[in-house]
Amino acid sequence: MNGNSIVVDTNILIYLIGGDKTISAYLENLSVYVSFITELELLSFQKLTEADERIIEKLLSNCIIIDINDTIKKTSVNLRKSYNLKIPDSLICSTSLFLNLPYYLPIFNSRK
């Protein structure tokens, strides 16, 4: 992987959908990777309208979605045990490690 790629978590895409210009500028010209768990989290909000779903699907079509595999599973288990992460966060971190890419997770990077 190269320096033009990043893994982001669900909240980053929510900020982007909400019009966050800082996030938009940061992600510009980057290949954005997301874990399958981010796709599931975004599309499973109970109060999504059809318009919301279309916006999310369009955004996800511009991302590279990484499905789970044995390496990601094992790494996720180890991260969860070692750092007491929630399952979605451990899966996203594991995806980043699997791809050898930097990641942006609010849990590790403060957005103040």
pTM of this prediction? 0.88
- The model's pLDDT over 48-88, given as tens digits with 9 standing for 90+, comes to 999 999 999 999 999 999 999 999 999 999 999 999 999 99
Domain of 65, CATH number, reads 3.40.50.1010
Q: Residue 27, Cβ neighbours under 10 Å: how many? A: 19
38 in any annotated domain = yes
Amino acid at 19: G
For the chain, the domain total comes to 1
Position 11 in a domain = yes
Q: What is the pLDDT of residues 19-54, one digit of tens each?
A: 999 999 989 999 999 999 999 999 999 999 999 999
Q: Are strands 64-66 and 31-35 parallel, antiparallel or unpaired?
A: parallel
Q: What domain range includes position 66?
A: 5-102
